[in-house]
Amino acid sequence: MMYYCARFIGAPNRRALVAVTLLFCLMLLLAQDTIARSSRLLTLAEAIQHTLAQNPRLAVYRLRDSALVGEAQSAALRPPAYLGAELENFAGTNGAEAAELTVSLSSVIELGGKREARISRVEAARALLMAEEQAEALTLMGEVLRRYTDVLAAKERLALADDAVSLARETLSAVDRRVDAAAAPKSERLRAQAALAEARLSLQSESRQLQVRKRALATLWGSPDDDFYVDSAALYKLPPIAGFEELYAAAEHNPAIAKFASKERLRAAELRLVETQSSLDLAWSVGLRQSRELDETTLVAGVEVPLFSDRRNAGARVAAEAERAQVALERETALLQLNTQLFRAVSGREQAVTTVNVLQQSIVPALESALAEVERAYRRGRYSYLEWIAARDELLQARRARIDAARAALRFGADIEQLTAAPALPMSAPSDSK
C-alpha cells in the first residue's frame, strides 16, 4: 500500500491533489493499523478457557455448593436444649398460696448415629454436585468445539465465495472479449454478468454467516465481542484416533457416567439416614419445682420415648430403597445410550475423514485441471460457455463438499471428546498468520 501511495504522489499533480492524496493514504494506513491491532487470534484453548471461566451455567454450581455448605453446618448441629417454666395451682381454691413453679431444662439424645448420617448425606450431595459440574463443564467444552468448528468452516466458505467472485469476474472478462470479437452471442455476456452478481451476493451472505458464527461462539463466555479471527487451516487437521472399543472403555469413566456412582452414594446415605429415624430418641428433662404451700423446693426429672417409630418409618425406608435401586438402572440405560452415540460419532467421523481425503487428494485436483483445460479451450472457441460454467460449478461444489466434510469430521470429533472426556481429536494451536 505504501508503494502505490508513493507512486501516485510522485506523479506530476497539483499541490492540492498531492495534499489530499497524502491525507487519504495516511488515513488508510491508520485504519489498516487499527484493524490489525483490534483483531486478535482466538485459539481453541482460549475459547475453552473463556467459557469455563465465565459461562453462567457453571456459576450456578458454585452457588449450589455454598448452599450445601450451609446445609452441612446445620446437619452437624446437635439437638437444641430448651429452658421451660410451668406454673400450677395459681388460681385454685386456695389461691396463690398453693401455686407451684417448675423451671426445667430439656433436650433430646439422638441415638442410632442420626447426626453422622445427616453429615454423610450432605457430603454425598456435595460429591454428586461436583460430578454434575464436571459433566456440565464437559458438555460446555463440546459445545465450544462445535461452535469453534462452525467458525472455521464459515471462514473457509467465505474464502470459497471470494474465489467464486474472482472466477466469475475472470469469466466475464473472457466472455466480453469473445462478444466484442463477435465470437459469442451477447446473451453469454448477460449471463456472465448475472453470475458475477450472484457470486457477489453469495460472498455477502457468507460474510454475514461468519459474523453470526463468531457471535454464537463469543456468547458462550457472555461476551458480545466478535472482534477476533481464527486460522481456518485447523479445519483440515484430522489426526487418526483410537478405535471404538478403546474409546468406549474411556467413555465408561465419563463424568456423565461417573456421576451415577456419586448419585448411588447419595441414595445410600439417604437410606442410612432414613434407617436411623427408626431408632429411638430419648427426650429428657430436669428441673426444680418450688411449692409455696409446702414451702419447699424439689428436683424433678423426666424421660420420654416415642412409640412405634419403626412402623411409622417403614414407608420412607421402602421409598429410599427403591430410589437407590433406580440409580443402577439409570446407569445401565445411560451406558447403552452412550454406546450408540459413540459408535455413531466414530463411524461418522471415519466416513467424513475419508470423504475429505478423497476430495482433497483426487477430486479437487482433477476438477481444477479440468477447469483450466476447459477455460483454455473456451478462449480458443473449442468449448461453449455452458461447458466452462459447468466445470467451474463442479469445482466449487467439490470444494464446498470438502469444507462440509471437514466440518462434520470435527463436529463428530467434538462428540467423541465429550463422550469420552478425553482429547480424542486434538486441535493444535493455529499459526499467527491471518
pLDDT tens digit sequence for 101-146:
778 887 777 777 777 878 888 888 888 888 888 888 888 888 999 9
Taking the CA atoms of residue 265, residue 268, residue 273 and residue 277 in that order, the dihedral angle to the nearest 10 degrees is 180
Q: How far is CA 354 from the centre of its chain?
A: 28
Note the pLDDT tens digit of each residue in 336-349: 888 898 999 999 99
Residue with cell 475472470: 170
pLDDT at residue 262 above 80?
no
Predicted confidence band at 216 (pLDDT cuts at 50, 70, 90)?
A: very high
Q: Is the pLDDT of residue 432 over 60?
A: no
Highest mean pLDDT among 56-70, 86-100, 200-214: 200-214
pLDDT the model gives residue 370: 94
Q: What are the φ/ψ torsions at residue 289 (nearest 5 degrees)?
A: -120, 125
What is the per-residue pLDDT across 14-50, written as a single tens digit (0 to 9) for each?
Answer: 444 334 334 434 444 444 444 344 468 888 889 988 8
Separation of alpha carbons 211 and 157, rounded Å:
12
Amino acid identity, residue 112? G
Contacts for 316 with CB less than 8 Å, ≥ 6 apart: 274, 277
Residue 103: φ, ψ to 5°: -115, 125
Model-level pTM?
A: 0.73
pLDDT tens digit string along 330-387? 888 888 888 898 999 999 999 999 999 999 999 999 999 999 999 899 888 888 888 9
**292: pLDDT confidence band, cut at 50, 70 and 90?**
low
The per-residue pLDDT for 10 is: 43
Assess whether pLDDT exceeds 80 at residue 236: yes
In this predicted structure, the answer to whether residue 431 has a pLDDT above a threshold of 80 is: no
